[in-house]
Amino acid sequence: MTLTLLLDLDDTLLNTNQSIFVPAYFQALSTKLAPHLDASLVGRALLKSTTAMNQSEDAMRPLRQVFDEVFYPAVGIPAGALDDEIEQFYSQIFPTLQGITSQNPQANPFIDWARSQGFRLVVATDPLLPRAATLQRVRWAGLDPDDFELISTFEDFHFSKTHAAYYAEALGRLGWYDGPVLMVGNDMERDILPAKRLGLAAYFVEAEPGSRSGPEAEPRGTLSDLRRYLESINLSSLTPSFETKDSLLAIHASTPAVMNSLLGGLDVEDWKRRPSSGEWTLTELVCHLRDTEREINHMQLNLFSGGDDPFVPRPDTGVWASQRDYFMEDGRLALQEFGAARFETLGILKSIPEPDWKRKARHAIFGPTDFREVVGFMADHDRMHIQQAFSILKKIR
């Protein structure tokens, strides 16, 4: 059983004093842009843009787009006008900030050991910086970015780590593998608690043994302690449980983001390429998700507003691809339409009072059930089709 390790970067793999590093980073960037912009204006715009990224819950807008839509109007220039200067900053000036950080001497041995165990490794750093900066910081830690299956950056992630949906998005980007997962980090508010809200196990990395963070920080220790911990337990005990309202909302929020990242760069031929006879194309898959959202999921949710113990039908949607000729549709447009339909779904789900998540129903396939379980069936459907999309992409590329 393969373990997926989601590893925080700052003060987990790389020693970073954020109270020093962030002001130094903002100051360096402001200085670089000073010939074109007022430095104080840049600083305020950076803070405002970072706040917007932290708060964003838009599954169809990567955090870079959120940043650009706030930053550039705040400094009064068109987006992209300073791309050359910003590229020079990250290639020439950003590397000088390495001296503010230092390597965690336990990181490289731990990663080497984890790789020898066949674990899937992810740098689960807050995706608030460009890829160019994040890859440099991984190297500052003495690590090779190629050793990680996924590294989160603001170009292709849609949620910051304050949201449980960030962790769902990361797992979706890995193809929603069914196996144990552990989040490892040093920040209770951005690493441990949001991961636990999704239903993941978490390990709290403490700078000094014996630090006090409350029972929610158990298990805890250094990276060396983490290796001993993983060697001592049955890894199957780290298998996630996606049963709470928070976890289901996070999965539902993340699905359009995952599909947007996985499929956003495809050309027309890839959308239409059939992996093998009898398998769906990606266009057909996304059309299925869109129509299921509009015609099945919305219907099921609305049934609960019509009275107690509703009967929840489950029409056969497997025939829609041929009946509705999905192959001839525009996959990119269908993905946008799915995102809009899911946004509507999330509005419904967030409006349901907590007690109503226990309302009973009868399901055409699963028999006696309740509202939370029906929402769980919908989340399982998401995960299954992300697994399918992940498989298709491997076959056609």
Q: Which residue has the tokens 């402001």?
A: 30
Angle between helices 282-292 and 245-263 (to 10 degrees): 150
Question: Which is nearest to 131 in space by CA: 63, 78, 189?
Answer: 63
pLDDT in tens, 81-140: 889 999 999 999 999 999 999 999 999 999 999 999 999 999 999 999 999 999 999 999
Question: Which is nearest to 263 in space by CA: 150, 154, 380, 388?
Answer: 388
Quote the CA–CA distance of 112 and 396 in Å, as a whole number: 32
Task: Give the residues across from 121 on adjacent strands.
Answer: 5
Question: Which is nearest to 293 in space by CA: 285, 281, 305, 283?
Answer: 285
Give the pLDDT of residue 43: 87
Q: Answer yes or no: are the C-beta atoms of 167 and 191 closer than 8 Å.
A: no
Residues of the chain with pLDDT under 70: 207-216
Angle between helices 282-292 and 331-351 (to 10 degrees): 30
Give the pLDDT of residue 120: 98
Quote the CA–CA distance of 96 and 393 in Å, as a whole number: 39
Quote the CA–CA distance of 386 and 172 in Å, as a whole number: 7
Task: Give the residues across from 182 on adjacent strands.
Answer: 5, 201
